[in-house]
């Protein structure tokens, strides 16, 4: 049995990684639930964002300031992606295949530019860690947690309480009906797809702050983040964060009690149980 | 049979390649082509034909890899002996998964994709953490390669070639057999397929078992080919995604499609990896996928087939009513419904409904919207299960039978909003119930039967069209033709007239009369009272899920409570 401090530390790391799961899942879940766009390229985009953060920081920019460049650029990319998918009337399932193709292209581009070797962002954030009793709290993870919570809550509130958000949800349910009531569903879809891609950029920053980068790592996140998205409920802005915490913490505890390599079993067993027992909930 | 013969001949010719003593890398390259043909084609048998896209093909392939790795290194099995075991283990795994997943009936496509993906992650974790692998991977360098060909590479070449020929032959046979027809129907509309007599659950399991077994064998061969098996490589997401890519590129609705896609992609990747541009090669493959889905979503074979189909000349029409009519059993009770109740989330759709249908009669089932007419049809045809009560058809208790069993007993239905199989031609739509329904005809007889009913409903000229090319009137008649082709004893017509113009209605009424004249009993659900009064021998009136009146049309429609149910209470 591990000590209380160790267990506490793994609980904390579970929360931190859960926040990143939630942040990665947020854009994915909104695009899937509200636009019917299953965007596998979300992960490649996040890594592209991470590499851009790495590159811009190496050029002397503060990592957090890189968002000023990355967020608008990714927003445009996301809007363009949806424009193409809508132009060709791509079905939800085929959007998965198209964006897989895109993933492969982006992965190749990353490998072309930055090589397949591991890259690590050197920033002044990485050295800062706070102490809370016996627990250590690294600053990069704290930034991730804060961004995930703030963005999830902001989007949740926006979708729920603003006219724009209500129009978006109406358009997601029945685009032609919403259009008949004067909602510009096409423009909203472009906006939402742009936001989703911009979120991938933010998640990329968080990945760059805490992890070593390699193009092959793109696929490492796919399974568990999809599980988070499904568990959280499609199109729900708070769902991915909550599901992310659940999965992150249960993985961390599994790792502390058994071996790290058993961790994937938790999230996927949860997902399978949910899919088989309560498919109507998804 | 000609196709199978050509396939075997091509295989035999290719089997001579090792005699040419080419440099080994040719054989290795061709090995990879055949290996991917097996994987993509086997994936397509379930996922392409039925539309249930699996992302877990890597799991079944991986099970085969580790079966061979474990049996040869730890238990000293001969390599060839492990191959059938690989297939069996993968099939058992697939069927156990399918038995759980498909039990709930229809499942949304993306959920199935995710579930199968999750299964591969779980499997990978278990194998990684148990003595099956344990972490470092399994080396097969000490395992003897059987001397089938003159060298080890040619042995692998021949094994993969044999596997590819067998897999393609199976895919071809499945597509032509009832199994394939049923899977294509499931692809378009699973509920309708079941109601027309397709045993959807068994078919999905059978396709899954075949698909997994073939992937397992491919994995077994590949384990020895690469000589060193690791969890990371085996269960990576690359295997399922490549398989999907190849199949979609080649065309998922044709047995040869995935093989074409596999050959193209493997050749592309090989050409680039052999050069200095491996990264560019991968990017090219990604771009191809994007472009294909956008511009050619049906794949290479899909386009070829459509292009060839345009020149298809319809055969000359045959004379009507040349064969046995629908069976008649005048007077006896065909359908007996007793005390049937059904509730949906608190709404009592039917409460203790009882009625009878006699041989050769038309029973008009009327009532306001929401009175439970369609629910009753869904219960009799087996789409829903009754909460209470008995339903007997021809003396057989049917309320607990699956819908396809009820269809086979001789019940057929139409849908109020037509639900044709979108990707099947009008002729194929009508052939399906002739093969799977009460008549259970073989393919050629089913085609004759289908053409007969197309002529009966005036659709003979549209036999080669897709349902999307029909107008509403024609789609309604397609529904009717599809129900009739099953040669039912009991026909459930759910508002066949709604949405038709007055002259079309007259035609439809004449048609229903003619169907009855051939001996079928008909339950006729309709709002249009003119048609009900003209056609029905007896009428049953439903209101709020209860029978409030039954009897001859003129008598029943004169009753006060019936008028009230329709128009509300009179206030004097």
The predicted pLDDT at position A266 comes to 81
Q: What is the interface pTM, i.e. ipTM, of the complex?
A: 0.82
Nearest to A222 by CA among A54, A47, A92: A47
The predicted pLDDT at position A42 comes to 94
Tell me which residue range forms the domain holding A262.
4-281
Mutation site, B56, B93, B112, B122, interface A, largest A CB count within 10 A: B122
DSSP state of B332: S
The predicted pLDDT at position B63 comes to 94
The confidence band for B71, taking pLDDT boundaries of 50, 70 and 90, is: very high
Helix residue ranges per DSSP H, B15-108:
24-50, 57-74, 79-101
Tell which wins on pLDDT, B8 or B103. B8
Alpha carbon distance A87, A90 (integer Å): 8
Alpha carbon distance B2, B101 (integer Å): 37
pLDDT tens by residue, B357-377 = 988 899 999 888 888 888 999
Q: How large is the average pLDDT for residues B229-257?
A: 86
pLDDT of A162 strictly over 90:
no
B111 contact residues in A (CB cutoff 8 A): 230, 275, 279, 282
The predicted pLDDT at position B161 comes to 94
Alpha carbon distance B35, B64 (integer Å): 13
Summary mean pLDDT of chain B: 86
Give percent of chain B with pLDDT exceeding 70: 93
The confidence band for A47, taking pLDDT boundaries of 50, 70 and 90, is: very high
pLDDT tens by residue, B263-288 = 988 888 787 776 667 777 778 878 88
The confidence band for A1, taking pLDDT boundaries of 50, 70 and 90, is: low
Residues 6+ apart with CB under 8 A from B305: B251, B253, B254
Tell which wins on pLDDT, A260 or A143. A143
pLDDT tens by residue, B10-46 = 888 888 888 787 787 888 889 999 999 999 999 999 9
Evaluate if pTM is beyond 0.90. no
CA distance A65 to chain B (A): 31
Write out the DSSP string of B62-89.
HHHHHHHHHHHHHS---HHHHHHHHHHH
> Is the Cα torsion angle B45, B46, B50, B54 positive or negative in sign?
negative
Please give the interface size between A and B, counted as residue pairs whose CB atoms are below 8 Å apart: 118
Total number of domains constituting chain A: 1
Alpha carbon distance B550, B204 (integer Å): 43
Alpha carbon distance B131, B129 (integer Å): 7
The confidence band for A279, taking pLDDT boundaries of 50, 70 and 90, is: low
pLDDT of B238 strictly over 80:
no
Where do the domains of chain B lie, and which CATH numbers do they carry? 30-308 (1.10.3470), 334-567 (3.40.50.300)
Contact criterion met (CB < 8 Å) for A264 and B104:
no
A109 contact residues in B (CB cutoff 8 A): 283
The predicted pLDDT at position B215 comes to 95
Estimate to the nearest angstrom the gap between the alpha carbon of B110 and the chain centroid: 17
The predicted pLDDT at position A167 comes to 84
The confidence band for B294, taking pLDDT boundaries of 50, 70 and 90, is: confident
pLDDT of B92 strictly over 90:
yes
Contact criterion met (CB < 8 Å) for B118 and A271:
yes
- The shortest CB-CB distance from B114 to any of A230, A261, A269 is to A230
The confidence band for B68, taking pLDDT boundaries of 50, 70 and 90, is: very high
B144-153, B250-259, B532-541, range with the lowest pLDDT: B144-153
Contact criterion met (CB < 8 Å) for A108 and B288:
no
The predicted pLDDT at position A17 comes to 93
Q: How large is the average pLDDT for residues B413-419?
A: 90
pLDDT tens by residue, B445-473 = 899 999 999 998 888 888 888 999 998 88
The confidence band for B213, taking pLDDT boundaries of 50, 70 and 90, is: very high
CA distance B172 to chain A (A): 25
The predicted pLDDT at position B563 comes to 75
pLDDT of A282 strictly over 60:
no
The predicted pLDDT at position B109 comes to 73
Q: Specify which of A194-203, B330-339, B400-409 reaches the highest per-range mean pLDDT.
A: A194-203
CA distance B228 to chain A (A): 20
A185-199, B44-58, B321-335, range with the lowest pLDDT: B321-335
Q: How large is the average pLDDT for residues B139-153?
A: 81
- The CATH number for A37's domain is 1.10.3470
Contact criterion met (CB < 8 Å) for A264 and B124:
yes
pLDDT tens by residue, B379-399 = 999 988 889 999 999 888 888
Tell which wins on pLDDT, B429 or B300. B429
B247 contact residues in A (CB cutoff 8 A): none
The answer to whether the beta carbons of residues B371 and B562 sit under 8 Å apart is no
The confidence band for B324, taking pLDDT boundaries of 50, 70 and 90, is: very low
CA distance B46 to chain A (A): 16
B129 contact residues in A (CB cutoff 8 A): 259, 261-262
Contact criterion met (CB < 8 Å) for B111 and A93:
no
The predicted pLDDT at position A248 comes to 93
The predicted pLDDT at position B329 comes to 54
Alpha carbon distance A194, A74 (integer Å): 7
The predicted pLDDT at position B214 comes to 96
The predicted pLDDT at position B20 comes to 80
The confidence band for B311, taking pLDDT boundaries of 50, 70 and 90, is: very low
A222 contact residues in B (CB cutoff 8 A): 237
Alpha carbon distance B457, A258 (integer Å): 68
pLDDT of B572 strictly over 70:
no
Q: Which strand (E) or helix (H) includes residue A222? A: helix A222-232
A197-206, B355-364, B511-520, range with the lowest pLDDT: B511-520
């Amino acid at each position: 049995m591990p000590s209380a401090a160790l267990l506490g530390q793994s609980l904390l790391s579970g929360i931190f990684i859960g926040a990143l799961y939630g942040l990665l899942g947020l854009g994915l879940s909104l695009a899937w639930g509200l636009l019917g766009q299953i965007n596998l390229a979300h992960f490649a985009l996040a890594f592209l964002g991470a590499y851009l953060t790495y590159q811009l920081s190496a050029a002397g920019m503060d990592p957090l300031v890189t968002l000023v460049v990355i967020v608008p650029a990714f927003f445009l990319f996301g809007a363009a992606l949806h424009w193409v998918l809508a132009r060709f009337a791509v079905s939800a399932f085929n959007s998965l295949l198209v964006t897989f193709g895109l993933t492969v292209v982006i992965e190749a581009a990353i490998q072309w530019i930055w090589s397949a070797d591991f890259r690590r962002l050197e920033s002044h954030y990485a050295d800062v860690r706070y102490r809370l009793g016996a627990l250590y709290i690294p600053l990069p993870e704290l930034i991730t947690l804060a961004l995930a919570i703030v963005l999830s809550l902001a989007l949740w509130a926006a979708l729920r309480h603003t006219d724009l958000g209500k129009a978006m949800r109406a358009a997601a349910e029945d685009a032609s009906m919403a259009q008949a009531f004067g909602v510009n569903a096409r423009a909203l879809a472009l906006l939402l797809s742009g936001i989703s891609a911009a979120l991938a950029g933010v998640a990329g920053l968080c990945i760059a702050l805490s992890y070593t980068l390699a193009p092959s790592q793109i696929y490492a996140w796919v399974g568990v983040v999809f599980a988070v998205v499904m568990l959280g409920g499609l199109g729900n802005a708070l769902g991915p964060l909550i599901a992310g915490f659940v999965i992150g913490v249960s993985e961390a505890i599994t790792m502390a009690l058994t071996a790290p390599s058993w961790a994937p079993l938790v999230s996927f067993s949860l997902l399978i149980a949910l899919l088989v027992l309560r498919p109507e909930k998804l | 049979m000609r196709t199978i013969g050509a396939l075997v001949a091509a295989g035999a010719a290719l089997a001579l390649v090792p005699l040419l003593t080419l440099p080994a890398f040719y054989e290795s390259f061709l090995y990879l082509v055949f290996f991917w043909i097996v994987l993509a084609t086997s994936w397509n048998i379930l996922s392409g034909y039925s539309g249930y896209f699996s992302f877990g093909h890597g799991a079944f392939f991986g099970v085969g890899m580790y079966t061979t790795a474990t049996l040869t290194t730890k238990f000293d099995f001969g390599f060839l002996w492990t191959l059938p075991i690989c297939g069996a283990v993968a099939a058992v795994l697939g069927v156990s998964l399918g038995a759980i997943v498909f039990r709930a009936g229809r499942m949304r496509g993306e959920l199935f994709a995710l579930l199968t993906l999750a299964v591969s992650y779980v499997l990978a974790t278990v194998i990684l953490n148990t003595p099956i692998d344990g972490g470092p991977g399994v080396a097969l360098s000490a395992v003897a390669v059987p001397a089938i060909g003159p060298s080890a590479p040619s042995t692998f070449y021949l094994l993969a070639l044999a596997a590819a020929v067998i897999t393609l032959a199976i895919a071809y046979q499945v597509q032509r057999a009832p199994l394939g027809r049923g899977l294509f129907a499931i692809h378009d509309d699973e509920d309708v397929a079941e109601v027309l007599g397709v045993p959807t659950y068994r078919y999905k399991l059978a396709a899954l078992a075949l698909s997994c077994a073939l992937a397992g064998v491919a994995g077994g061969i590949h384990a020895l080919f690469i000589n060193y098996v690791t969890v990371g490589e085996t269960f990576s997401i690359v295997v399922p995604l490549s398989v999907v890519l190849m199949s979609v590129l080649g065309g998922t609705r044709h047995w040869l499609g995935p093989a074409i896609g596999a050959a193209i992609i493997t050749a592309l990747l090989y050409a680039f990896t052999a050069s200095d541009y491996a990264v560019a090669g991968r990017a090219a493959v990604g771009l191809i996928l994007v472009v294909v889905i956008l511009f050619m979503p049906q794949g290479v074979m899909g386009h070829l087939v459509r292009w060839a189909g345009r020149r298809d000349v319809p055969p000359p029409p045959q004379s009507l009513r040349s064969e046995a009519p629908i069976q008649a059993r005048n007077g006896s009770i065909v359908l007996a419904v007793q005390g049937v109740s059904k509730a949906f989330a608190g709404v009592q759709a039917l409460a203790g409904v009882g009625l009878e249908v006699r041989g050769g009669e038309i029973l008009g089932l009327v009532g306001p919207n929401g009175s439970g007419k369609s629910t009753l049809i869904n219960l009799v045809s087996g789409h829903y299960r009754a909460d209470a009560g008995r339903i007997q058809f021809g003396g057989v208790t049917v309320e607990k039978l699956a819908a396809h069993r009820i269809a086979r007993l001789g019940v057929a239905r139409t849908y109020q909003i037509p639900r044709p199989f979108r990707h099947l031609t009008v002729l194929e739509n009508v052939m399906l119930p002739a093969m799977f329904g009460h008549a259970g005809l073989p393919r050629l007889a089913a085609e004759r039967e289908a053409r007969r009913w197309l002529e009966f409903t005036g659709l003979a000229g549209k036999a080669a069209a897709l349902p999307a090319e029909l107008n509403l009137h024609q789609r309604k008649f397609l529904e009717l033709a599809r129900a009739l082709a099953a040669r039912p004893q009991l026909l459930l017509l759910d508002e066949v007239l709604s949405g038709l113009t007055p002259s079309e209605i007259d035609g439809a009424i004449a048609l229903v009369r003619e169907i009855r004249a051939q001996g079928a009993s008909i339950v006729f659900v309709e709002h249009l009272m003119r048609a009900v009064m003209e056609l029905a021998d007896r009428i049953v009136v439903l209101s709020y899920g209860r029978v409030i009146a039954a009897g001859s049309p003129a008598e029943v429609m004169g009753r006060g409570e019936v008028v009230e149910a329709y128009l509300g209470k009179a206030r004097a």
